[in-house]
Amino acid sequence: MNAPPPAILQVLPALRSGGVERGTLEIAEAQIAAGFRAIVASAGGEMVPALEALGAKHITLPLTAKSPWAMWRNAAALAALIGATLRPEDGSLCLAVGEGYALDLAAALRAKGFRVIRRVVYAARPSTALPNEAQNALKAGRIHAALFTSPRLAREAMRLLRDSGLQETARCIIAIALSPRIAAALAALPWAEIRTAARPDHVALLACLEGQDVLGLSP
């Protein structure tokens, strides 16, 4: 009997519109094209139908919950999912994770007999201040548009503007959001305009840059 193709599981809080979510779909599409089984676990969202249309499988779990008890239950549920899909004798499992993530999952999988290799592939570090070059450009009015691909990015950018005393420069900047959720986060500052991409992908995001106003030119 032929062994099933390898499976790659992606885990994220939800599949609502956003840069990370769109990247998840693109990775799943590439996995399927390469002959892998693509599985995504999340709390769901409006991008689930698009994911499933690619041929990927979606598993709904309450992954937006942040309480220790909920995180422990989610780790157990993910371990059960992996245990039902793979066998320890099939080989080692590699967990590619963000710093501080998936410790409970690694422990639960090891308890099931899997050899787990956990590797930190990224760590998010908020900036402490706007670079001098950026501050000078804002003061000189040389920034006409800004792209935002996640609510967290929007919040951090606005925090840096406030900390630098440059929040009023937003009045001369067109804020371009990848999704309505990001646009809602941006409403905390008085931007010249907030534009939202027609679709949650980078082609639609870049399309919002069209127009002389974005280039700082008079119509």
Q: Six-digit token pair at 47?
A: 């991008």
Residue-wise pLDDT tens digits, 125-177: 888 999 999 999 999 999 999 999 888 899 999 999 999 999 999 999 999 99
pLDDT of 217 > 70? The answer is: no
Q: How far apart are the first and last CA of the chain?
A: 67
pTM for this structure?
A: 0.58
Task: With a cut of 80, say whether residue 200 has pLDDT above it.
Answer: no
d(CA 16, CA 179): 9
The third-level CATH classification (topology) of the domain covering 7-122 is Rossmann fold (3.40.50)
Taking the C-alpha atoms of residue 175 and residue 197, their distance in angstroms, rounded to an integer, is 11
CB 35 within 8 A of CB 8: no
